Amino acid sequence: EHERPGAPGLRLCTFVAKGRMSEPPSPARVAEPTDPSDAAATCALALRTLDGIGTRIDLLEANRLFRLAAEQGSVEAWGHIALLAVSYDVLKTGDPVPEHRIEEAVAVWTAAAEKGDPEAQRFLGLCYIHGTRVRTDRIEAARLFRLSAAQGHAAAQHNLGVCYADGVGVPQDKTEAVRLYRLSADQGFAAALCNLGNCSYHGSGVPKDHTEAARLFRLGADQGLARAQLHLGHCYETGDGVPKDPSEAARLYHLSAEQGLAYAQCRLGRCYYFGKGVPQDFTEAVRLY
């Protein structure tokens, strides 16, 4: 059956990529830091690659850059690697992060968060969501996201929106979730664009509007967000908000599947099985399934 565009659930990092890649994509890498010894610059570049700021989102490249920054001496980079590993199955094949390195990163974020640093507040909130070297505490996570969001941090606004959408650490409030997603989406944050599209698709906290949903999915898909590519592909497959186009649906499923999104791999497999938008190919369908 079709998976209609839906709420992301408790996935509070930049985007969701469940499953493993059979053939990892190899998009062009963003420019390396000018000074290879500058760990802070490498870590900042990794964050831009993770969030799609000035480049397309590339989970594997972000992980590579975080590991490079860690080798250059960045304490925080180890924390980012640990958070990626607990959030995305596709990254669990790398070398494990030493526990003491994670503890050091969390300590750095804790100290910076107490001084009001919005980036540290956001990442410490993710640690409390996942129980990464701290106790799992969703109320504390939401509090930290709120502090960061109040300073205009787009990712934290998105994270807090997810908390309100799912009732995580705060009372469920879909209208407040939409407000926060919109603040984040107005800054171009891809995951917020996708979640706001989900709200428009289902009429959750906002009037149902498939055309607006498809527009928002496209904005997220253009940044390389796998979930947005999947949902926009669904719109093209069903004709929700856009003209029905099986070939375009298959193309978008392919882009999403390349990033390891399991449901996109399944949808693309069905395209090959039934010959919808692609030549019928049972062997390729089985491989994707």
pLDDT of residue 93: 53
Give the whole-angstrom CA distance, residue 196 versus residue 164: 13
Give per-residue burial for 5-38: e unless 16+ CB within 10 Å, then b.
bebbeebbbbbbbebebeeeeeeeebeebeeeeb
Decide if pLDDT at 80 tops 50.
yes
Q: Global pTM?
A: 0.79
Residue range 48-53: average pLDDT? Answer: 79
Task: Classify the phi-psi angles of 54: left when phi > 0, otherwise alpha if psi is within -120 to 50, otherwise beta.
Answer: left
Range with top average pLDDT, 12-26, 43-57, 238-252: 238-252
37 pLDDT tier (thresholds 50, 70, 90): low
- Is residue 112 exposed (0-12), middle (13-18) or buried (19+ Cβ within 10 Å)? middle
8 pLDDT tier (thresholds 50, 70, 90): very low
Give the whole-angstrom CA distance, residue 281 versus residue 270: 10
For the segment 218-242, what is each residue's pLDDT rounded down to a tens digit? 999 999 899 999 999 999 999 999 9
Task: Classify the phi-psi angles of 132: left when phi > 0, otherwise alpha if psi is within -120 to 50, otherwise beta.
Answer: beta
Inter-CA distances, 247 with 240, 252, 254, Å = 15, 9, 11
Nearest to 157 by CA among 130, 188, 131, 136: 188
Give per-residue burial for 114-137: e unless 16+ CB within 10 Å, then b.
eeebbbbbbbbbbbbbbebbbeeb
Contact 139, 169 (CB under 8 A): yes
Percent with pLDDT over 70 in the chain: 84
149 pLDDT tier (thresholds 50, 70, 90): very high
* Alpha carbon of residue 216 to chain centroid: 15
As given in the structure block, the two tokens for residue 2 are 């079709």
For the chain, the helix, strand and coil percentages under 3-state DSSP, each to the nearest 5: 60, 0, 40
Residue range 168-183: average pLDDT? Answer: 98
pLDDT of residue 27: 36
pLDDT of residue 206: 96
